[in-house]
A and B are shown apart, each in its own frame.
Chain A
Amino acid sequence: MPLVELRNVSKIYHLGGETIRALDDVSLDIDGGEFVSVIGPSGSGKSTLMHILGCLDSPTHGTIKLDERMIHDASPRELAFIRNRKIGFVFQFFNLLPKLTVLQNVELPMVYAGVSGRERRERSMRMLQMVDLDNRSKHRPSQLSGGQQQRVAIARALVNNPKILFADEPTGNLDSHTGEAILELFRELSTQGRTIILVTHDPEIAAVTPRRIEIRDGKVANNLDARLAGLDRQAGSAAAAPALG
């Protein structure tokens, strides 16, 4: 039973007289523990896909099942609950709250989950230790480097122990060296069994993940699984095979 199941999902925007199909009849399965990259050119619909998978947005058509629960027609309240407990987000622009300290930022999802103050502190400090920033807990985000901010964002995303971690261009705003460190962190998390969905337009980054989903004009153009390529589990295009190498 897959962790995420998308069936015929479309997201249609109407702008003036124009109809934009940001997602066009997408069907996908993602299992628990997978490390998946979603790749495609700018404007292809990667972020839209992530927002829908992440319960931030609802599709125009189609059904979504997340952790055995249909969510395409859930109420805003239920969606907030799922985002809080089952999903963690990491964004390109870090999206930390500037007025809160690092520690408070990491605590925030637990505040919404109603976790007691002491437990919040303990768990946040553990998360900050994991990303090696426990000595900066009292600092403001603006006092940290980009890479450090992104590590705080990852700590925040994981603090409620979610099933899935979404990352939209998490290295897009970092130099390549720092970006690599962040990717290394994701890889480590993946080996610990965390499901990670990484959105990027950079093939080099996508090459890191065992599975790649390629989006083009709102459609799934390629769906390659390095682990299962030989077993022909997915109808991957032959052209993509050499890229696995």
Chain B
Amino acid sequence: MILINTILIGLKEIWTHKFRSILTMLGIILGVASLVAMAAIVKGMENGMKEALIAMGGLDKVLIEQQKVPVHQNHLRDMAPGRTIRDVYALKESAPLLKVVSPEMALERALVARGPKAYRPSEVVGVWKAVLDMNLYELQHGRFFNELDEESANNVCVIGTGVRDELFGSPQEAGRDIVPLGQEIRINDQPFTIVGMFKHYESEMDRKKREEGLKDPSQQAVGPVRQRGWGGRGWNAFWRKNNMVYIPLNTMWVRFRAATGTNNVPDQTLTDIDVKVASLEMLEPALQQARNVLMVTHQGIEDFNFRTQENQIEDINKRIQNARLSGGIIAGLSLLVGGIGIMNIMLASINERIREIGICKAIGATGVSIFLQILIESVVISILGALLGLAASKGLVVLLSELSPTQNTPVIQTQVMLVAVGFSAAVGIVAGLFPAVKAARLNPIAALRYE
């Protein structure tokens, strides 16, 4: 009851000096706004990076890379077998800690065409069905390759929506869905039949933009079309994922590799062997197991290496931490300045009210109640500033995402808002402490005599 009264008196005090109070709150407002906005932007960044990471196949994906043989094995260099399908069979057979093993054989300088239209997709790759688990693809239409396709090296392919957009036109442009199942395209002049098409993959932000675009017909024509090419945000994990062409591994071998190669020896090496570990906790032993298996198939020549997503995650975490730190420092400084402002104004305010404080003491206010009164006023100012800061942060976020639309959508977090308000309250308490003690210690007579 007394608390509510005191808060009301504090609010009244602020209302009487509106302009002064706003100036005082400015530090807190800026501090909170920058804290919340920064956190929102960093969170957006984090989300974007994680989304991209998952688009690329998730955290448990490990790439087995080609590597120069180590120096001490230099004399064995010519015997290095490279990564072949033998490794894949061996890993599937003898490395139970691996959940998925996916061989990839890519076609270099691939050009896909339909009639006069031709374009370079992100990749044309010969794969097994394991690639779906590996790269987290889901079919939207049609089917994936079956054993028959693999066995008889059928000329079939499964495409991403980007390929469809390029060769058959995008549904946005056409205004209806386009599903080119059964249609024929040419890959480096070999005819292939489309048997399946993947889902459309996009970032959260793009999805929102697209949905907004659908509501607003004037923007309907743009959208995915603008994402084409290498520049800007078109060149990202999602573009790559949507502009993929998969064909059966055996088809790749028979149609493209077997007929080429140096010295009439076709190149048997795989472009990639990707594996997934059964569980992330077992990452180390799983890799050790894989290494042991590969050491056997490679006759002890260590011409391979593992690259986990951990490096990627570390990098992401580091960047996020840096962003957090700089945001935190800016916000912290603003809040500090805000705190000093509040202390200043509270000192001025008690000087103006020495007489009032004296009167209150004369009619029975204890030092504690005067102390609380001043402290609560200080906290009321800081919390009010924090609330204004929260409102300002929304504006700041909108402004920042207007300024750099390539960024990920900032995510304002309730948690951060609570922390910001709590922190401001703490600043208010600390700033109010000294003025409150000073007011509580005022001698009532001196205060009453004060003119």
Contacts and interface: CB of A to CB of B under 8 A. Distances in A.
Interface of A: 51, 54, 56-57, 76-77, 80-81, 83-85, 88-89, 91, 95-99, 108-109, 111-114, 116-117, 156-157, 160
B359 A97 contact: yes
Given A95-B448, A111-B5, A114-B2, A77 B367 contact: yes
B359 A56 contact: no
B178 to A, nearest CB: 71
B13 interface: yes
Contacts of B368: 77
A121 B173 CA distance: 73
Nearest 6 pairs of A and B residues by beta carbon: A84-B364, A80-B366, A112-B364, A109-B363, A95-B359, A83-B364
A81 B366 contact: yes
Given A113-B364, A160-B364, 8 more contacts: A56-B448, A57-B443, A77-B367, A77-B368, A95-B355, A95-B359, A99-B9, A99-B12
B365 A80 contact: yes
B2 A111 contact: yes
B363 A84 contact: yes
A91 B355 CA distance: 12
A210 B394 CA distance: 72
B4 to A, nearest CB: 9
Interface string B343-377: 00000000000011001111111111100000000
B21 to A, nearest CB: 15
Contact of B364 (A51, A97, A98, A109): A109
A89 B2 contact: no
Given A95-B448, A114-B2, A76 B366 contact: yes
Contacts of B445: 51, 56-57
A108 B16 contact: no
Contacts of A111: 2, 5
A89 B355 CA distance: 15
B443 to A, nearest CB: 8
Interface in B392-451: 443-445, 448
B362 A108 contact: no
Nearest to A54: B362
Given A80-B361, A97-B356, A112 B16 contact: no
B363 A108 contact: yes
A96 B443 CA distance: 18
Given A57-B445, A80-B367, A95 B16 contact: no
7 contacts: A56-B444, A83-B362, A84-B365, A96-B359, A97-B359, A111-B5, A112-B360
Nearest to B16: A99
Interface of B: 1-2, 5, 9, 12-13, 16, 355-356, 359-369, 443-445, 448
B363 A83 contact: yes
Contacts of A98: 356
Nearest to A100: B9
Nearest to B370: A80
Most buried by B among A56, A88, A98: A56
A156 to B, nearest CB: 7
Contact of B362 (A89, A116, A160): A89
A80 B359 contact: no
A122 to B, nearest CB: 15
Nearest to A166: B362
B366 A77 contact: yes
Contacts of A99: 9, 12-13, 16
A116 B1 contact: yes
A98 B359 CA distance: 11
Contacts of A160: 364
Nearest to B368: A77
Contacts of B365: 80, 84, 112
A156 B363 contact: yes
B362 A56 contact: yes
Contacts of B361: 56, 80, 83
A84 B368 CA distance: 14
B369 A112 contact: yes
Nearest to B449: A47
A42 to B, nearest CB: 14
B12 A89 contact: no
Contacts of B443: 57
B448 A108 contact: no
Nearest to A117: B1
Contacts of B360: 97, 108, 112
A81 B1 CA distance: 19
Nearest to A80: B366
A112 B355 CA distance: 18
Nearest to B13: A99
Nearest to B446: A57
Nearest to B5: A111
The residue in B5, B362, B369, B443 that gathers the most chain A C-beta atoms within 10 A of its C-beta is: B362
Contact of A89 (B1, B356, B363, B367): B363
Contacts of B448: 56, 91, 95
B367 A76 contact: yes
A245 B2 CA distance: 52
A125 B448 CA distance: 27
Contacts of A97: 356, 359-360
A116 B258 CA distance: 95
A112 B13 contact: no
Nearest to A94: B359
Contact of A95 (B2, B5, B362): B362
A223 B365 CA distance: 34
A156 B362 CA distance: 11
Contacts of A88: 363
Contacts of B369: 112
Nearest to B359: A95
A57 B444 CA distance: 8
